[in-house]
Structure 1
Amino acid sequence: MFARALSRTALPSQSRLFSTSRRREADFTHAVIGGGVVGLAIARQLQARDGVSTVLIEKHSSVGTETSSRNSEVIHAGLYYGPDSLKTKLCLRGKEMMYETCKKNDIPHMNCGKWIVAQDDGQMDAISKVHEFAQSIGVPTRFLSPEEAKRREPDVRCEAGVLESPSTGIVDSHGLMQWLEGEFEEKGGICAFQSPVTKVEPLDTGNGGWAITTTSGGKDSTVTAETLINSAGLFAIPLSNMILPKERHIEPHYAKGSYFSYSLSHPKPKTLVYPAPIPGHGGLGTHLTLDMSGRIRFGPDVEWVDDPTDLRVNSKNLDIAIDDIQSYLPGIKREAIELDYAGIRPKLGKLGAVTSGKGFQDFYIKKEEGFEGFVNLLGIESPGLTSSLAIAEFVEGLLYR
């Protein structure tokens, strides 16, 4: 009852579990900072272990209010990230876990597939390379004949060819996060909302552990934990810099992506449509995705910003985005495409490419050397949603296997 009551509030300044001074015995086995989909998945995974206690610390009043709820909600196949990358490894495992979990627990999702379309020889070469890579890692892809493409999606232009990814899908990210939160609390985990972290210090007991201070309403509260997991998303790098010495600090970068809606009922493809990837580009082009009700949305574009809280939808790229959309969906009505919402992705650098190759940036998920019991997750962008359950499994392995 106490844990349930606590789960919807900030960390109290005085309680049996929390104190404003360091203790010789930690209050919790694990403290997970960040209540996005990845933090939720990690907290649930760790709380399922015997004899542990886990607190999930989130600065907002509910889970998943930042990157986790402002994306394309795509279950990615794992086509772009390089054979030896964590992104590929965790995307492939996460995709499998995601479909299995959603099916078993009635979480809304749809295995709708994806088309990657080419309009000329250069783009055809690009999707051929995607196909070759997919085959090398065991991800199913196939080229469609012009006749089959025309029959299935008559409104989609694919002058040079189309590559189908049948294992791509979509998931209701909010439904997934509600399920993760419920599972975590059902296993005895505690959610501490409205608890922005303002200080993190190692305990001076000689046995490891961490003191995490939050500030809410002008009052400081401190909780102690044996292990600390930084899954703070957009604010993970600033949090990491709060803990690690200056020579190990990283500069945070933020890429805003604006999304666009479509107000007419035609054309209305039944599958996701992506343009051919452009090597070295900061995104995968203005692609067409669907939500669980079948509503079309386009995006995201890429705009580098300094403020990770600025979620205003930017219209400056709208005309370019519509030109991109009309290249593969020529029947679209320009005037029916409108600004919808924006999301921000945490980046490890501005030169990072989405696809493998020069400038590619992998997930950073490590036990930090010299900082016992500290697992750091940085640059967790796409395919973070798809990979979330596998990331949780991976973090548990870092700590316990």
Structure 2
Amino acid sequence: MNSRSLSKLTQLPCRRGLAGVGALRSFSVSASRSADFTHAVIGGGVVGLAVARALAERASAASLSSSASASASPVLLLERHSDVGTETSSRNSEVIHAGLYYGAESLKTQVCIRGRQLLYDFCEQYGVGHRRTGKWIVAQTPNQRNALEKIYAFAQSYRGGRVDLQEDEVLPLRWVTADEAKRREPAIRAEAGVLESLATGIVDSHGLMQTLLGLFEDAGGVLASGSPVVGITPLGGVGDAPGSGGWQLHVKPVGAAEETVVTAETIVNAAGLGAAAVHNMITQGDTAGPASPPMQLYYAKGNYFSYSSSQPRVSTLVYPAPDPGVGGLGTHLTLDLAGRIRFGPDFEWVTDPTDLAANAARLPSAIEAIKAYLPGIDAGALQPDYAGIRPKLLPPGGDGKHKKDPDFIVRSEPGYKGWVNLLGIESPGLTSSLAIGEMVEKLVYSR
């Protein structure tokens, strides 16, 4: 399970008769040429890891079934940082979401529900720390109660395209009476009602990512950490779709004097906060591909706050009722696997995706939001802890409020061959990661 940096790829056995990939060189653009790797996945967050693992296991199984495992190219996972999962994937609430908020036609709903089911099974199979904590969504006003009623109605009606499911089988919810709420969580205020999500939980995100990495490498995959991609060229003959001859990736390993060039039959852009830059490397540099304007991402920062007091005690996750005029799901209460309380994220727009310092100036507004549902909180025990950045496909609305979040984009990029593009993968990306990996595998192998 030890990862190998790109500089060490020259030590790997030659693949398909090719020399080591550490030296800069050019490649044929014929569709019949051999590539260094079957697939290249750009981005080593939890989604990139899930995609890379799915592709590596598929490639490994295909090699074994054809008795050609010794000559098969591995899958390459390119990560610009020195380790995997150091951006959005490790700076979140570590919540396994149920899939309540995104709408019946949303890809987010589909992959969140499928991903949640896969994730619980995966954690059980591989011993990844997790727990089904449940979640309370609490209302304080009639308007907030109405928001809970809409969530409940959606959960009762949603079947994900299937008609053979019983009520609550996909999105199990229940109303908590006032007496039960007072008995179970006496510290929580819920003046207008409590809706409980039975499928919500928490997961050790770092343990999940290390397990995915181990499975990826066990299947023959190669991790190139500290290896940012600086250029991408789709290959193909005259008249062919760009990428029909494979893909040439220029990589500048950290500390290296020169670029390294590798080729892959297909590429997956799972770069998260860097996904727009990767997208633009291709679309803005390729004169043969479809004309399109540069893509831009917008960055939503969420600050998290630690809590050092043991009182009040709470044993479930607590979320305020969703407010359409506020970004995110509100500053909520979550637990880690040791039972420690933490709060967040809040929501603020930033222009710098590397602005990861927790913003202490946000503490007063966080305290106000938390006191709405946890009035007995000791404000002196709250401290800014860490922050995460979510990639947004749309900017804030012109009226000062936030536009409704667009859906995930997971697609084979039109006009190209062998390029799967993942854009705007934010929450519930952690929950959805295994389902997205499953989806990308199907897209790649249906080409």
TM-score interval, normalised by the smaller of the two chains: over 0.9
1:39 is displaced (CA, Å) by 0.3
Q: What CA deviation, in whole Å up to 9, does each residue of 1:347-377 have, x standing for no partner?
A: 101248xxxx962310011111111100110
Contact persistence 1:73–1:172 (CA under 8 A)? yes
Match of 2:68 in 1: none
**Does residue 179 of the first structure (1) align with residue 211 of the second (2)?**
yes
Cα distance in 2, alignment partners of residues 204 and 372 from structure 1: 9
Match of 2:130 in 1: 109
* Structural RMSD (CA): 1.7
The amino acid of 1:211's aligned partner reads: Q
Match of 1:336 in 2: 381
Aligned equivalent of 1:382, options 427, 434, 438:
427
Match of 1:26 in 2: 35
**Does residue 252 of the first structure (1) align with residue 297 of the second (2)?**
yes
Cα distance in 1, alignment partners of residues 419 and 346 from structure 2: 34
Q: What CA deviation, in whole Å up to 9, does each residue of 1:230-269 have, x standing for no partner?
A: 0001000111011114624221111111000101001121
Cα distance in 2, alignment partners of residues 209 and 311 from structure 1: 36
Instruction: Indicate how the Cα distance of structure 1 residues 109 and 249 shifts in structure 2: closer, same or farther if over 3 A, else same.
Output: same
Matches within 5 A, 1:314-333: 314-333=359-378
Aligned equivalent of 1:100, options 102, 121, 140:
121
Match of 1:57 in 2: 78
Aligned equivalent of 2:343, options 298, 305, 314:
298
Contact persistence 1:12–1:221 (CA under 8 A)? no
Matches within 5 A, 1:349-388: 349-351=394-396, 359-388=404-433
1:394 is displaced (CA, Å) by 0.4
1:208 is displaced (CA, Å) by 2.1
Q: Where in structure 1 are there 5+ consecutive unaligned residues?
A: none
Contact persistence 1:351–1:359 (CA under 8 A)? no
Match of 2:189 in 1: 157
Q: What CA deviation, in whole Å up to 9, does each residue of 1:108-138 have, x standing for no partner?
A: 0000000000111111111111111111223
Contact persistence 1:13–1:221 (CA under 8 A)? no
Match of 1:278 in 2: 323
1:201 is displaced (CA, Å) by 0.4
Contact persistence 1:22–1:224 (CA under 8 A)? no
Contact persistence 1:29–1:225 (CA under 8 A)? yes
1:13 is displaced (CA, Å) by 8.8
SS of 1:175's partner is helix
**Does residue 188 of the first structure (1) align with residue 220 of the second (2)?**
yes
**Does residue 146 of the first structure (1) align with residue 145 of the second (2)?**
no
1:202 is displaced (CA, Å) by 1.1
Q: TM-score under structure 1 normalisation? A: 0.94
Q: In the comparison of the two structures, how many residue pairs are matched? A: 393
**Does residue 198 of the first structure (1) align with residue 230 of the second (2)?**
yes
Instruction: Indicate how the Cα distance of structure 1 residues 235 and 55 shifts in structure 2: closer, same or farther if over 3 A, else same.
Output: same
1:280 is displaced (CA, Å) by 3.7
The amino acid of 2:275's aligned partner reads: A
1:302 is displaced (CA, Å) by 1.1
Cα distance in 2, alignment partners of residues 243 and 99 from structure 1: 36
1:321 is displaced (CA, Å) by 1.0
The amino acid of 1:345's aligned partner reads: R
Moved more, 51-60 or 241-250: 241-250
Aligned equivalent of 2:250, options 209, 213, 223:
213
Cα distance in 2, alignment partners of residues 111 and 294 from structure 1: 12
Contact persistence 1:17–1:223 (CA under 8 A)? no
Match of 2:200 in 1: 168
**Does residue 348 of the first structure (1) align with residue 369 of the second (2)?**
no
SS of 1:385's partner is helix
SS of 1:30's partner is strand
**Does residue 44 of the first structure (1) align with residue 56 of the second (2)?**
no
Q: What CA deviation, in whole Å up to 9, does each residue of 1:256-310 have, x standing for no partner?
A: 1100010100112110000000014211111000111111110111111111111
The amino acid of 2:149's aligned partner reads: S
The amino acid of 2:4's aligned partner reads: R
1:60 is displaced (CA, Å) by 1.1
The amino acid of 1:229's aligned partner reads: V
1:146 is displaced (CA, Å) by 0.5
Match of 2:263 in 1: 224
Contact persistence 2:392–2:405 (CA under 8 A)? no
Q: Which has the larger radius of gyration?
A: 2
Instruction: Indicate how the Cα distance of structure 1 residues 313 and 125 shifts in structure 2: closer, same or farther if over 3 A, else same.
Output: same
The amino acid of 2:97's aligned partner reads: H
Moved more, 245-254 or 87-96: 245-254
Match of 2:165 in 1: none
Match of 2:167 in 1: none
Moved more, 49-58 or 154-163: 49-58
Q: Where in structure 2 are there 5+ consecutive unaligned residues?
A: 12-18, 28-32, 64-71, 159-169, 285-290
**Does residue 9 of the first structure (1) align with residue 13 of the second (2)?**
no
**Does residue 287 of the first structure (1) align with residue 287 of the second (2)?**
no
Cα distance in 2, alignment partners of residues 14 and 328 from structure 1: 57
Aligned equivalent of 1:239, options 273, 278, 290:
278
Q: What CA deviation, in whole Å up to 9, does each residue of 1:162-210 have, x standing for no partner?
A: 0000100000000000000000001111101110110100124564210
Cα distance in 2, alignment partners of residues 91 and 13 from structure 1: 35
Aligned equivalent of 2:438, options 385, 393, 400:
393
